[in-house]
Amino acid sequence: MNITRLSIDLAKDVFQLYGVDGKQKCVLTRRITSRAKLIEFISRLEACEIYMEACGSSNYWARTFQGYGHMVKLISPQYVKPYVQRNKNDYRDAQGIMEASFWAGTPYVTPKTVEQQDIQSLLRIRSNYIEIRTTVSNQLRGLIKEYGVFVVAGYQKLKQALPGIFDRNIENGLTPQMKELIEGQYDMLLIFDEKIDKLDIQIEQMSKQNEVCQRLQKIEGIGPITALAIIALVGHGQGFKNGRHFSAYLGLVPRQHSSGQKEKLLGISKRGDVYLRELLIHGGRSVVMHCSKKSDARSIWVNKIKDTGGMNKAAVAVANKNARIVMAMLLSGENYQKAA
């Protein structure tokens, strides 16, 4: 078989292959039913281009196939879907991936390195701990309200108040059974606090050891977590043309609904990585909150947007600008230079 391009529809244990030759003629359709057999098949295959959807395990398979000399490209599922003809099945999915690979405008996802996977895993686990902690604290706040016990807003305020709430020597309307339940949940909150603090120390250490992180943190609104999230997502930015491309990828640009000569711009598109977009917007909000008394060019620009469009629009505008600055720095290797 003279396979020049191979598309693979990935699953946990079942893999559908679709290969074409130099004349774009289908020369292979095969279903492989184990990971070991897939590796064996790819290892014996002559070097070719392999295309897969960017989905669960795709980064692992990309690194594995690259180790056998193949050129691997990942395609976002949203760009494959239009090419899946008629009924959906594994064969049609693999065929759709192949069709999408021939479209000149198809954007590709750069496979992550093991180092990027480590950073991403660390940040995702931290985010999950915070989400669980928030869920537990909100549940506790709601439950004790039914007993007439009210705590002011804020996680720290709740944590400080809980020991007095479940104290057996204080009469506050809570039953002994309820106090015991609250104490157990309080212990859980302390455990998650400890875990989050340990991860924060790791994040601080990793950011100090990474030269790119240190450069990115010079930008107002970008801290260690955001800088590491950027590196985990894009590495050195090799998959992007410029800052505008990166900003659009993150969904920080307006959606467009235009026709003829009538251009209509809507809210931001919210495409791409939700986690990084949230971090950039939170950082932008911090910049907006502290720029009112500053007189540099950037602060004047931010204050103008805040006065005309409000806090949220100004925060998104700062996030958009920061994303473009970040990518320009990654592609050029230059340091951040503050506007005069």
pLDDT tens, N- to C-terminus, the chain (340 residues)? 689 999 999 998 999 999 999 899 999 999 999 999 999 999 999 999 999 999 989 999 999 999 999 999 999 999 999 999 888 899 999 999 999 999 988 889 889 999 999 999 999 999 999 999 999 999 999 999 999 999 999 999 999 999 999 998 888 889 999 999 999 999 999 999 999 999 999 999 999 999 999 999 999 999 999 999 999 999 888 888 899 999 999 999 888 888 887 888 778 888 888 999 999 999 999 999 998 888 888 899 999 999 999 999 999 999 999 999 999 999 998 999 887 6
Question: φ, ψ for residue 214 (rounded to 5)?
Answer: -65, -40
Identify whether residues 20 and 96 lie together within a single domain. Answer: yes
Identify whether residues 134 and 89 lie together within a single domain. Answer: no
CA torsion sign for 302, 308, 311, 314 is negative
Identify whether residues 69 and 119 lie together within a single domain. Answer: no
The identity of residue 232, as a single letter, is: A
The helix/strand/coil state of 269 is coil
Query: pLDDT value at position 268?
Result: 83
Identify whether residues 98 and 147 lie together within a single domain. Answer: no
Give domain status of residue 121, yes or no: yes
Give domain status of residue 157, yes or no: yes
Could you tell me which of 148, 151, 154 has the C-alpha nearest to residue 163?
A: 151
Give domain status of residue 285, yes or no: yes
Give domain status of residue 340, yes or no: no
Give domain status of residue 56, yes or no: yes
Both tokens of residue 87?
Answer: 């009924």
Identify whether residues 178 and 236 lie together within a single domain. Answer: no
Give domain status of residue 315, yes or no: yes
Q: How many C-beta atoms surround the C-beta of residue 63 within 10 A?
A: 15
Give domain status of residue 264, yes or no: yes
Identify whether residues 98 and 143 lie together within a single domain. Answer: no
Residue numbers of the domain that contains 162: 114-209
Give how many domains the chain has, as a whole number. Answer: 3
CA 19, CA 33: separation in Å to the nearest integer?
A: 17
CA 39, CA 37: separation in Å to the nearest integer?
A: 5
Q: At what angle do helices 114-145 and 155-165 cross, to 10 degrees?
A: 50
Domain boundary among 209, 232, 253: 209
Query: pLDDT value at position 272?
Result: 83
Identify whether residues 13 and 80 lie together within a single domain. Answer: yes
Query: pLDDT value at position 1?
Result: 67
Q: Confirm whether pTM is higher than 0.85.
A: yes
Identify whether residues 328 and 229 lie together within a single domain. Answer: yes
Give domain status of residue 230, yes or no: yes
CA 266, CA 329: separation in Å to the nearest integer?
A: 29
CA torsion sign for 54, 58, 60, 62 is negative
Q: Are 298 and 304 in contact (CB under 8 A)?
A: no
Query: pLDDT value at position 238?
Result: 84
Residue with tokens 């977009």: 277
Could you tell me which of 80, 79, 78, 46 has the C-alpha nearest to residue 65?
A: 46
CATH of the domain at 57: 3.30.420.140
Residue 240, H or E segment: none
**Neighbouring residues of 264: CB distance < 8 A, sequence distance ≥ 6:** 256, 257, 258
Domain boundary among 52, 86, 109: 109
CA 94, CA 74: separation in Å to the nearest integer?
A: 13
Identify whether residues 99 and 12 lie together within a single domain. Answer: yes
The identity of residue 330, as a single letter, is: L
Domain boundary among 142, 176, 209: 209
DSSP 8-state secondary structure symbol assigned to residue 54: S
Identify whether residues 171 and 232 lie together within a single domain. Answer: no
